[in-house]
Amino acid sequence: MLTPKCKFDSLIEFFRNVLQKLPDKRTGKNTRYGMEDAALSAFSVFFTQTPSFLSYQRTMAATKGRSNAQTLFGVHQVPCDNQIRDLLDGVKPQCVFPVFEEILHLLEQSGELEALRSFGETLLVAMDGVEYFSSHSIHCPECSTQTAKDGTVRYFHGAVTPVMVSPGRSTVVPMVPEFIVPQDGTNKQDCEIAAAKRWLATHAETYRSMAITVLGDDLYCHQPFCEALHFHSFNFILTCRPDSHNTLYRHLDRIALPTVICKRWTGKTEETSTYRYLNQVPLRSGDDALLVNWCELTVTRADGKQLYKNAFATSHLISDQTVSAIVQSGRTRWKVENEHNNTLKTKGYNLEHNFGHGKQHLSSLLATFNLLSLLFHTLLDLLDDKYRLLRQHLPTRKTFFDDLRALTRYWVFESWDHLLTFMIEGLELQIPPNSS
């Protein structure tokens, strides 16, 4: 078990121990490369954001007798790219889910999860779907399909990616994903909401004690999913649009709604925030309709121009004193897009790039390694003083990874701590106390 004082090398060692249990389809003596070596090799590409990392390390091992793949990531022997894909194709991503849970436990031990708590002392978990593979020709049995009007079929992979978020903080904590894949025993194509329900059924017991409020867009704001959240003792704040909740909004139109108005000066103009709310509103028609609490925020400028308008359905009781905080929490849902999905797509992780599709689980396993690399970086940013110092003093994350790419191509470092120390000393920064 990891502890809050653990170093990156300890984390990699824990990761390696998990990977040693991966299923291996090989028989006989054809086992030159360990499954853990193949998996850690793939992970190192995502972590360093260097597509050619393994090629560099094979050259380094040939010329220097060892490489950073060995010293930083614990890879004993680096397989070739095709061997990595072949070895990992039969491995389900669920095999590495314990790493997510252990890191979450580590963040809880260190007090970092407490720092993320928001309204009602709950942790906000934003749910959203994301595609990570798309092709009109390459496909596998786990692909979802979309047929255009002209008959062209698009094959794609997607997942629901729950992320812990907090208002006012850019830090997001990726959690165990749920992949959108055809399910045994049904002819219906899998979808985002069905995957989200499976995630609840599988992981609610693990996370229930953390006191969670689920955030989601209007797709999630319907009775079956809200009932599932209730069943698993999760709170929710979900976007609630008029065009998909006719019964709820007809009910609101008949009642004078409690209203809270706040004004603030932005330095250039005055903005007015108007909050309206009502408790115990039917989410749909029928005697069995779930009663939810509803709130709305409209932001206008002094000249009457509307700057923002959105509404939410929630399980939290709303009052004049709580409506602003509930809305702020609901608006934090966008961080799953801005700080997570877009980061994975555009900030060096290249989530949508086809690193290898395979015939079974390769695509989803590599996507999981990509999510884990972001989680590892988040953990380092929260708990590693040297890493945080470097990220603060280098102008952009691109600069950091460009430097990492160059350094690991030309020098062998004894450990992750050695690499960070080398970079800090090169920038003539003071090493943080108690970080050795």
Ranges of beta strands (E only) in 206-286 are: 212-216, 235-239, 259-265, 270-282
> How far is 39 from 35, CA to CA, in rounded Å?
6
Residue 302 domain flag? yes
Q: Supply the DSSP symbol for 316.
A: S
Q: Which of 278, 305, 321 is the last residue of a domain?
A: 321
Residue 374 domain flag? no
> How far is 11 from 3, CA to CA, in rounded Å?
10
pLDDT per position as a tens digit, 132-176: 999 999 999 899 999 999 999 999 999 999 999 999 888 899 999
* Collapsed DSSP state (helix, strand, coil) of residue 154: strand
Whether the per-residue pLDDT at 405 is higher than 90: the answer is yes
Residue 5 domain flag? yes
Whole-number pLDDT of residue 29: 66
| Angle at which helices 362-383 and 35-48 cross, to 10° | 60
Report the pLDDT averaged over residues 225-237.
97
The total of structural domains in the chain comes to 2
CB 181 within 8 A of CB 92: no
Q: Which of 300, 321, 342 is the last residue of a domain?
A: 321
Residue 193 domain flag? no
Angle at the Cα of 347 (from 214 to 330), degrees rounded to 5?
20
Parallel, antiparallel or unpaired: strands 235-239 and 212-216: parallel
Q: What is the mean pLDDT of the chain?
A: 93
Angle at the Cα of 379 (from 9 to 238), degrees rounded to 5?
150
Residue 249 domain flag? yes
Residues of the domain holding 247: 240-321
> How far is 12 from 72, CA to CA, in rounded Å?
8
Residue 300 domain flag? yes
Percent helix, percent strand, percent coil in the chain, to nearest 5: 45, 20, 35
When pLDDT is cut at 50, 70 and 90, the band that residue 363 belongs to is very high
Whole-number pLDDT of residue 25: 83
Residue 353 domain flag? no
Residues comprising the chain, all counted: 436
* Collapsed DSSP state (helix, strand, coil) of residue 100: helix
Q: Which of 272, 297, 321 is the last residue of a domain?
A: 321
- Could you tell me if 7 and 79 lie in one domain? yes
Residue 405 domain flag? yes
